[in-house]
Amino acid sequence: MFKAIGIIIFLLALIMGIPPLRQKAGAVAVPVLEKLGPVGAVVVNPIKKMGAKSKVKHIASLLDSDLQQGRKVPTERDFLTWLQRRSQDEKGADPWGQPFWMKDTAKKIVVGSSGPDRKPDTADDLTAEALK
């Protein structure tokens, strides 16, 4: 019994430690875990948070690249159109099905995901910044 548990823990650690395996396992596991309701959410939300944080950082890096190369950056209004055009594999929605958002201030551009509560400007938002 303990040997089987040890093997399972080892396999899970291996899967979580290798990004391509983690993505494939997540694609299979997330839909199954979501069907478990609140119990599944305990496991799924951290997986979704990792994915959302990674995407938000990627979006901020695209904005940084555009800023450094002197390209026009999107306005808050046309952000999702820009995102879909700039990143072909991006549909513009976070793992909870909500659109990514952007806030443009005088010194920085903040991009984010509304997080598990699906509401912007709350404590669980996942954000990254591009400096102007």
Going by pLDDT thresholds of 50, 70 and 90, the confidence category of residue 1 is low
Q: What are the structural domains, with CATH classification, of the chain?
A: 1-35 (no CATH), 51-131 (3.30.700.10)
Going by pLDDT thresholds of 50, 70 and 90, the confidence category of residue 9 is low
| 99-111 average pLDDT score | 95
* H/E element, 56: helix 38-68
Q: For position 88, what pLDDT does the model report?
A: 76
The one-letter code for the residue type at 78 is D
The one-letter code for the residue type at 50 is M
Going by pLDDT thresholds of 50, 70 and 90, the confidence category of residue 26 is low
Share of the chain above pLDDT 70, in %: 75
| 7-17 average pLDDT score | 66
Take residue 91 and report the two structure tokens written for it.
Answer: 């549909």
- Measured in degrees and rounded to the nearest 5, phi and psi for residue 10 equal -60, -45
